[in-house]
Amino acid sequence: MIEEDARTLDEMVAELNKVAMKHKSARDNYHQQAAVLADKRNALQDKARKLVAEANLMKQRRDDYNLSAKEAKEKREEWNDKVAMMRERGGLGDIGEAKAQSQNYHQKVVKYSNSGQVAHEKMLQLRQDADKLREEAQGYHEKYLDCKKAADLEHERYIQTIRKIEKVRDNLPD
């Protein structure tokens, strides 16, 4: 009778060991999946950071072009004012040269404004691309968290099964 009970207890321990190994294996698989998801998330976040850095460079470039355009506008207005004053004085001075200078600065205004607009559009596109990458990274992060929760649950089940094994073994005869 005691031998039968011991065999039954041995069988129980063997079955519980199988259950424990199943939980341990599932836990380890979830951890592996979580690591892959974390790598994907981190890679996307790195790409997004690089795009944001590039967008910030475009913003600085845009701001520089806008400042140059503003300065060229001021110069153009100075030359336009000189042309107006020359006309008021009856054409005294080189109106042709003043108009040429005004036109020169006008062309610079157009050039700087266009370049600033191009930089602005590039900056916006880079930021939109970064937002898409961050959104995709967030999806991987949520899946990562799900895997970590599942791994924690499997680990808890593994621990519970190990405790059952210990209780059964405590009842085995020496």
Task: Tell me the per-residue pLDDT of 82-104, one tens digit each, with 9 for 90 and over.
Answer: 999 988 888 778 889 999 999 99
Model pLDDT for residues 118-169, shown as the tens digit of each residue: 999 999 999 999 999 999 999 999 999 999 999 999 999 999 999 999 988 8
Tell me what the mean pLDDT of segment 14-38 comes to.
97
- For 10, residues 6+ apart whose C-beta sits below 8 A from its C-beta are 172
Output the pTM of the full model: 0.77
Domain residue ranges in the chain: 2-170
Q: Residue 44: exposed, middle, or buried by beta-carbon count in 10 A (0-12, 13-18, 19+)?
A: buried
Provide the residue count of the chain. 174
Residue 5 confidence (pLDDT):
59
CB 112 within 8 A of CB 65: yes
CATH architecture of 2-170: Orthogonal Bundle (1.10)
